[in-house]
Amino acid sequence: MTATDREMISRLPLFGALTEEYRHKLLATAILREVEAGDILFGQGNPPEYLHVLLKGAVELRGADRLGNEAIVEVVQPPDCFILAAVVTNAPLLMGARALEASRLLLIPADHLRQELHAEPALALALLGAMASHYRGMVRQIKDLKLRTSVERLGSFLVQLAREQQSSGQIQLPYPKRVLADRMGITPEHLSRAFARLRERGVHMRGSRVVIDDVETLAAYCRVDTVLDSVERELRVPGTGV
């Protein structure tokens, strides 16, 4: 594991609150894995063998029905971990995972992590915070789908990107438009129409780049607000110091 890998892992709330000595013990059995774009990481319905920690690249989490219809549930970007709830409960995976681009992952054996949960209270509390963050993110995603039109969802996504990239209005889409459409629960055709509708709101496409004339005006149109759109990456259990 490189110094860069260790630094990125320490930035994750799940590991950052642990002592360096214990973090080294926890990760002693972990495996570093390099994958290419399109590689399958695991399938829906499989038992969880590892907690996946994404250090570089991007991974799409996909759900499917019995007829083979698929949809992207989430796109994971580094540094982050995924399938935490399945690993903790040893429940079948509700989603499959595929690399969107060349990626680097740290795989922590699920049985080892569960054993450590019983022995180390600090890890258990850190896991609670990480799972709460993932749960609240999913609730926000559901509210976004139910309370906004596709045009408003796209606009609010672009506003959040502009704020995350600390841009005054020129942003880079983090993944292809087909993936963005699937992630938002619409077809590529509907996505193109949504971008066309947003032109009158000062949004202009330049390939994979987007120019927004006035970010705050767009935010007001899409009804961006703190409760619905906040990104909580460092939730902690209050009063524990973890």
What is the model's pLDDT at position 236? 62
pLDDT (mean) for 71-95: 94
Q: Looking at residue 15, what is its pLDDT? A: 86
- Which one is predicted more confidently, 164 or 32? 32
pLDDT digit string, tens, across residues 87-139: 999 999 999 999 999 999 999 999 999 999 988 998 998 888 888 888 888 89
- Per-residue pLDDT at 32: 94
HSE-CB at 210 with a 13 A cutoff on CA atoms is 28
Q: Dihedral angle at the C-alpha atoms of 38, 40, 41, 47, nearest 10 degrees?
A: 160
Phi, psi of 36 (to 5 degrees): -100, 165
Higher pLDDT, 155 or 233: 155
Give the pLDDT confidence of 176-211 residue by residue, as tens digits: 999 999 988 899 999 999 999 999 999 999 888 999
Q: Is 151 exposed, middle or buried (0-12, 13-18, 19+ CB in 10 A)?
A: buried
Strand order across the 80-82 sheet: 31-35, 103-109, 50-56, 80-82
Q: What is the pLDDT of residues 135-153, one digit of tens each?
A: 888 898 888 889 999 999 9
Q: What percent of the chain has pLDDT over 90?
A: 56
Rg of the chain taking only CA atoms, in angstroms: 19
Over residues 78-88, mean pLDDT: 93
**Residue 102 and residue 150: Cα distance in Å, rounded?**
30
pLDDT at 9: 84
Residue 133, pLDDT score: 87
| Distance from C-alpha of 30 to C-alpha of 51, rounded to nearest angstrom | 9
Q: What is the pLDDT of residues 8-64, one digit of tens each?
A: 888 787 887 788 889 888 999 999 999 999 999 999 999 999 999 999 999 999 999
Which domains are assigned to the chain?
Answer: 3-135 (2.60.120.10), 149-222 (1.10.10.10)
- 241 has pLDDT over 60: no
Indicate the pTM of the whole model. Answer: 0.84
Per-residue pLDDT band at 85 (split at 50, 70, 90): very high
First-residue to last-residue Cα distance in the chain: 25
